[in-house]
Copies of this chain bind each other. A is one copy, B any other.
Amino acid sequence: MDLVSIEEIRDAASRVKGAAVRTPLLEQSWAPLWLKPESLQPIGAFKVRGAYNAIAALNEDQRARGVCAFSSGNHAQAVAYAAKRFGIPATIIVPDVAPRAKVEATKALGAEVIEVPIDRQESSALAVAEERALTMIPPFDHRDVIAGQGTVGLEIAEDLPDAGVVLVPLSGGGLASGVGTAIKALLPGAKVIGVEPELAADTAEGLRAGRRIEWPMDLRARTSADGLRAQPSDLTFAHLQAVLDDVVTVSEEEIGEAVRTLAHRARLIAEPSGATATAAYLSHRDALPPGKVVSVVSGGNMDPATLAALLADRG
């Protein structure tokens, strides 16, 4: 399979400049840990990079007709935000179980939001795109989306050339594919480790088996990390096989503790999905290769009540 190249990621970097925040790499004073706070992006997650890059790569005619997406939340906001910047219409199909904060934020960005049962999300989106002649911007199964997320890795390599380990959360695999591709190209000595919730560890199992393994949605839906319930496509799985050195799985308790540590020590609000990579550092340090550790804090969108409950729990 023809994998995304570092040149495509460099092209993405020049496209997303100005639309995505060039996030700093935050060295922590309490641990040999560097955090990449993608929670500080305009829509609170790295997804703005891939969505913006994919829309920027469309031709004028396609773009003017508008875009469409389906997402459990952060990709929805990212497509809405990018479309708003381009001044084009966006239609977002979200599962009716999505956190209210994410749904409301998507609407506030001017997108039309259609809520459907989670198992009809993809089919509904395809039907709407067909009917309205919209271009579908997929959450991860697309070269331009992967290349856009890869700009996170490009920036990590620029800011910490002697990084030893890069921890990145795994779900559909777009972020890990892009970051891994950039790191392997620019810092060949660094290890790239994917991190999954134990309750949605389909990719860990699939990589061990050497092929994609399906986990039913009712199993994956158990994790509090609602952004990590997707599974890789053929395209992202091929990337993950090529660029990941290992996968670490973390428990729900470890994810909650990472949310609290990021708030108290790093002053960052991370949603459970966004704290998952840091949970691997905090709770599985001994299982990681040696060297300076970078953890991608992928997002920070959460219902206020969920956040309050997580921070009130003294674990």
Instruction: Indicate whether A40 reaches chain B with its CB closer than 8 angstroms.
Output: yes
Would you call B260 and A304 a contact (CB within 8 A)?
yes
**Given the complex of chains A and B, what is the CA–CA distance between A108 and B265 in angstroms?**
12
Cβ 8 A contact of A267, one of B39, B109, B311: B39
Q: For A29, A105, A267, A304, which residue has the most chain B Cβ atoms within 10 angstroms?
A: A267
Cβ 8 A contact of A269, one of B28, B108, B263: B263
- 5 A-B pairs besides A264-B269, A304-B311 with CB distance below 8 A are A21-B26, A24-B40, A267-B268, A304-B314, A308-B311
**Given the complex of chains A and B, what is the CA–CA distance between A102 and B261 in angstroms?**
15
Would you call A108 and B30 a contact (CB within 8 A)?
yes
Contact surface of A with B, Cβ cutoff 8 Å: 21-24, 26-30, 37, 39-40, 42-44, 81, 101, 105, 108-109, 260, 263-264, 266-270, 300-301, 304, 307-308, 311-312, 314
**Given the complex of chains A and B, what is the CA–CA distance between A101 and B263 in angstroms?**
13
Would you call A24 and B26 a contact (CB within 8 A)?
no
Q: A29-B42, A40-B37, A109-B29 are in contact. Are A267 and B24 (CB under 8 A)?
A: no
- Cβ-closest chain B residue relative to A311: B308
Would you call A43 and B29 a contact (CB within 8 A)?
yes
**Given the complex of chains A and B, what is the CA–CA distance between A201 and B30 in angstroms?**
35
A29 / chain B contacts, CB cutoff of 8 Å: 42-43, 81, 109
Would you call B40 and A307 a contact (CB within 8 A)?
no
A311 / chain B contacts, CB cutoff of 8 Å: 304, 307-308, 311
Q: For A22, A29, A42, which residue has the most chain B Cβ atoms within 10 angstroms?
A: A29
- Cβ-closest chain B residue relative to A301: B267
- Cβ-closest chain B residue relative to A45: B267
**Given the complex of chains A and B, what is the CA–CA distance between A44 and B26 in angstroms?**
11
**Given the complex of chains A and B, what is the CA–CA distance between A175 and B152 in angstroms?**
32
A22 / chain B contacts, CB cutoff of 8 Å: 24
A260 / chain B contacts, CB cutoff of 8 Å: 304
Would you call A267 and B43 a contact (CB within 8 A)?
no
Would you call B24 and A42 a contact (CB within 8 A)?
no
Q: For A260, A270, A304, which residue has the most chain B Cβ atoms within 10 angstroms?
A: A304
Would you call A267 and B108 a contact (CB within 8 A)?
no
**Given the complex of chains A and B, what is the CA–CA distance between A312 and B40 in angstroms?**
22
Q: A267-B268, A307-B263, A311-B304 are in contact. Are A27 and B42 (CB under 8 A)?
A: yes
A304 / chain B contacts, CB cutoff of 8 Å: 260, 263-264, 311, 314
**Given the complex of chains A and B, what is the CA–CA distance between A108 and B21 in angstroms?**
32
Give min CB distance, A28 to chain B, whole Å.
Answer: 7
